[in-house]
Structure 1
Amino acid sequence: MTSLRPKLIAATLAGALSTAAAQPAPASYTAETTYDKLVASYPFIRVAASAVPASVEAVRDITYVRHGERALQLDLYLPKARAAKALPGIVFVHGGGWRSGVRANFAPMAIRMAERGYAAATISYRLSGEAPYPAAVIDAKAALRWMRANASRYGIDPARIAIGGGSAGGQIASLAGVTEGIPRFEPDAGPGAVSSGAQAIVNIDGLSDFTSEAARMYEDDPNKQPSSAGAWFGGRYAEKPALWREASPTFYVNPRTPPILFIGSAQARFAVGREEMIVKLDAAGVPNRVVLLPETPHSFWLFDPWLGPTVEATVRFLDEHMRGAAGK
Structure 2
Amino acid sequence: MTAHSVPAAVPYNAATTYAKLVKAYPFIQIADTRVNAEIVIISGMGYVRRGAHLLQLDLFLPAQATRDTGPVPAVVLVHGGGWRSGERGNMAPLAARLAARGIAAAVIDYRLADEARYPAAIHDVKAALRWMRANSAAHGIAPQRIAVAGGSAGGQIASLVGVTNGIDKFDPDGAASAVSSAAQAVINIDGLSDFTSPAARANEDDPTKKPSAAGFWFGGTYADAAALWREASPTFYVNRDTPPMLFIGSGQARFSVGRDEMVGKMHAAGTAARVAVLPDSPHSFWLFDPWIMLTADAMAAFMHTELPIPTITRKAP
Normalised by the length of structure 1, the TM-score is 0.90
1:3 match: none
Counterparts of 1:308 and 1:53 in 2: how far apart (Å)?
12
State which of 215, 220, 230 in structure 2 corresponds to 1:245: 230
2:4 match: none
Higher helix share: 2
Amino acid at match of 2:146: I
Amino acid at match of 2:20: K
1:57 paired to 2:33: no
Alignment of 1:1-328 (within 5 A): 26=9, 28-51=11-34, 55-82=38-65, 84-323=69-308
Counterparts of 1:247 and 1:296 in 2: how far apart (Å)?
27
Q: Is the 8 A contact 1:92 1:106 kept in 2?
A: yes
Q: Is the 8 A contact 1:110 1:120 kept in 2?
A: yes
Query: Are residues 81 and 325 of structure 1, via their aligned partners in 2, closer, same or farther at CA, if it must alter by over 3 Å?
Result: closer
Counterparts of 1:245 and 1:203 in 2: how far apart (Å)?
18
Counterparts of 2:177 and 2:108 in 1: how far apart (Å)?
24
Q: Is the partner of 1:129 in helix, strand or coil?
A: coil
> What is the deviation of 1:26?
3.2
> What is the deviation of 1:235?
0.1
Query: Are residues 325 and 91 of structure 1, via their aligned partners in 2, closer, same or farther at CA, if it must alter by over 3 Å?
Result: farther
> What is the deviation of 1:54?
6.5
Amino acid at match of 2:119: P
Counterparts of 1:77 and 1:29 in 2: how far apart (Å)?
22
> What is the deviation of 1:191?
3.6
Q: Is the 8 A contact 1:52 1:58 kept in 2?
A: no
CA RMSD of aligned residues (A): 1.5
Counterparts of 1:81 and 1:95 in 2: how far apart (Å)?
30
Amino acid at match of 2:23: A
Q: Is the partner of 2:41 in helix, strand or coil?
A: strand
Q: Identify which of structures 1 and 2 has the higher relative contact order when contacts are C-alpha pairs closer than 8 Å and 6+ apart.
A: 1
2:314 match: none
Q: Is the 8 A contact 2:263 2:273 kept in 1?
A: yes
1:259-286 Cα distance to aligned partner (Å, 9 max, x none): 0000000111011001110110000011
Q: Percent identity over the alignment?
A: 60
Query: Are residues 67 and 273 of structure 1, via their aligned partners in 2, closer, same or farther at CA, if it must alter by over 3 Å?
Result: same
Q: Is the 8 A contact 2:33 2:97 kept in 1?
A: no
Which ranges in structure 1 are unaligned for 5 or more consecutive residues? 1-23
1:271-310 Cα distance to aligned partner (Å, 9 max, x none): 1001110110000011111000000110000000000110
Q: Is the 8 A contact 2:35 2:100 kept in 1?
A: no
Q: Is the partner of 1:72 in helix, strand or coil?
A: strand
Q: Is the 8 A contact 1:220 1:230 kept in 2?
A: yes
> What is the deviation of 1:210?
0.1
1:148-186 Cα distance to aligned partner (Å, 9 max, x none): 000011110000000000000000000000001101001
> What is the deviation of 1:325?
7.1
Q: Is the partner of 1:33 in helix, strand or coil?
A: helix
Q: Is the 8 A contact 1:177 1:201 kept in 2?
A: yes
Query: Are residues 55 and 324 of structure 1, via their aligned partners in 2, closer, same or farther at CA, if it must alter by over 3 Å?
Result: closer
1:54-90 Cα distance to aligned partner (Å, 9 max, x none): 6111100100000122100000000113462101000
Counterparts of 1:258 and 1:111 in 2: how far apart (Å)?
24
> What is the deviation of 1:51?
4.0
